[in-house]
Amino acid sequence: MCTCLLIDILTMLNINEIRNDFPIFQREVKPGVPLVYLDSTATSQKPLAVIEAMNDFYRRSNANIHRGVHTLAEEATELYEQSRVRIARFINASAAHQIIYTRNTTESINLVAYSWGRAHLKAGDLVILTEMEHHSNLVPWHILQAERGIELEFIPVTDDGLLDLEAYKTLLARSPKLVSFAHMSNVLGTINPAAEIIRLAHAAGAVTVVDAAQSVPHFKVDVQALEADFLAFSAHKMCGPTGIGVLYGKTALLESMPPFLGGGDMIKEVKLRSFRPNSLPYKFEAGTPAIAEAVGFGAAVDYLTSVGMDAIAAHEHEITEYALERLEEVPGVRVFGPSAQHKGGVTAFTLDGVHPHDVAQILDRDGVAVRAGHHCAQPLHEKFGIPASSRASFYLYNTKAEIDLLVNGIYKVKEMFG
């Protein structure tokens, strides 16, 4: 048996084992039609380890946290805080208190805009974003622009889906106060050179925000190596539950920021006419949090760690290379974004003469789940002169055979539309 064939077999056996960890892949979309899930950029599927961890919490340890001294309250608090510790370790944060639980990446970025932004930005101050941003990293700054009169400028995206770093350097000469950017595009799949972007921003005196919703789930992200000031991501895109995310921040920045929300657990002392906020991280975690979801988040981090982030990244790169090769074979398909060398497991495309929603609906008849629309990135689609695109996205559980089913489905779409 040749070495290359042996490697292929071993890889497939490993992927089959991984797929067995995800109960949803046992179902059929309709009789005889298995699920081909190519929409992990929107939300990933959940392994049994995460489902069981949350189920076990509700069955055995359900109670509110931090306030109670009874057994269940102490168990729930320990589970909640241990997840924070494991998440901090996962991104190599220097301390667990730098991990702020939020609802998702969107809330994390809004927290920075509302708290740090309102405390530090004034009329005329420059914030640099990019043309490939998700709406979650555009709208909070638009709101602040309308409220405070800050200026927004954007790093251009080149025709091949990369950021124009020379244009970025020109913008930095204007002494921005903040640079906020996506580590990986949810449309183009572009993996931006985050360390270089941050280094240049710091040299210009700017604070940085990294939207890592699409990077943390797919390859190793080390916040200390990046020197990131703030970094945001969501559990539901990395095998965890919906409804919980994280804002990482450097301690000095977080300590200098006013609270985002007011209420229980974010206070140290309350009087009728005053209050004192709690210490980190609780200053930013008002009210009863998503406790079971935090437990599930910790289980997701453990699962990804057990598989290995380097192995996940290598597998996705292989799948992405294969997907680009197959899609480029199809007449009338236009693929957006850079080559696989600069790309994560996301492939947005259009098919001549067919609306992306029609593509997605017809693919669904064969169990192939892709996303269609502007993917919360309308300005990027406008730049490329299209109202929408179809998007196939890949994760640790996807196979080359599923890419073949995607391409076969696109050929069926072509036949239907002549």
315 and 302 in a single domain? The answer is no
Query: What is the DSSP code (8-state) at residue 330?
Result: S
| Catalytic hit among 2, 4, 239, 376 | 376
168 and 115 in a single domain? The answer is yes
Domain boundary among 245, 280, 306: 306
% of the chain residues with pLDDT over 90: 92
Q: pLDDT class for 207, splitting at 50, 70, 90? A: very high
118 and 174 in a single domain? The answer is yes
Domain boundary among 274, 306, 338: 306
23 and 41 in a single domain? The answer is yes
12 and 78 in a single domain? The answer is no
* Pairwise CA distance, residues 20 & 303, whole Å: 13
376 is annotated as an active-site residue: yes
Number of domains composing the chain: 2
**Residue (of 165, 84, 102, 77) closest to 128 by Cα position:** 165
CB contact at 8 A, 330 and 410: yes
156 and 236 in a single domain? The answer is yes
Neighbours of 353 (CB within 10 A): 11
CA angle 292, 231, 184 (to 5 degrees): 100
In the numeric block, the tokens 């997840």 are attached to 83
Confidence (pLDDT) at 45: 98
Q: What is the CATH number for 407? A: 3.90.1150.10
Phi then psi for 273, rounded to 5 degrees?
A: -115, 10
Domain boundary among 278, 306, 334: 306
Name the residue range of residue 79's domain.
50-306
In single-letter form, the type of residue at position 2 comes to C
What are 288-341's pLDDT values in tens digits?
Answer: 999 999 999 999 999 999 999 999 999 999 999 999 999 999 999 999 999 999
300 and 333 in a single domain? The answer is no
**Residue (of 279, 229, 249, 259) closest to 119 by Cα position:** 259
* Predicted confidence (pLDDT) at residue 212 exceeds the cutoff of 70: yes
* Predicted confidence (pLDDT) at residue 266 exceeds the cutoff of 90: no
Q: pLDDT class for 418, splitting at 50, 70, 90? A: confident
What is the enclosing helix (H) or strand (E) of 145?
A: helix 139-148
CB contact at 8 A, 119 and 256: yes
270 and 170 in a single domain? The answer is yes
324 and 286 in a single domain? The answer is no
* Pairwise CA distance, residues 62 & 54, whole Å: 10
* Pairwise CA distance, residues 133 & 323, whole Å: 24
288 and 359 in a single domain? The answer is no
Q: What is the CATH number for 89? A: 3.40.640.10
What are 335-359's pLDDT values in tens digits?
Answer: 999 999 999 999 999 999 999 999 9
What are 106-140's pLDDT values in tens digits?
Answer: 999 999 999 999 999 999 999 999 999 999 999 99
198 and 330 in a single domain? The answer is no
Q: pLDDT class for 8, splitting at 50, 70, 90? A: very low
Q: pLDDT class for 265, splitting at 50, 70, 90? A: confident
195 and 312 in a single domain? The answer is no
Pairwise pLDDT comparison (16 vs 329), residue with the higher score: 329
Confidence (pLDDT) at 7: 40
DSSP helix, strand, coil percent of the chain (3-state; round to 5): 45, 20, 35
Neighbours of 71 (CB within 10 A): 10
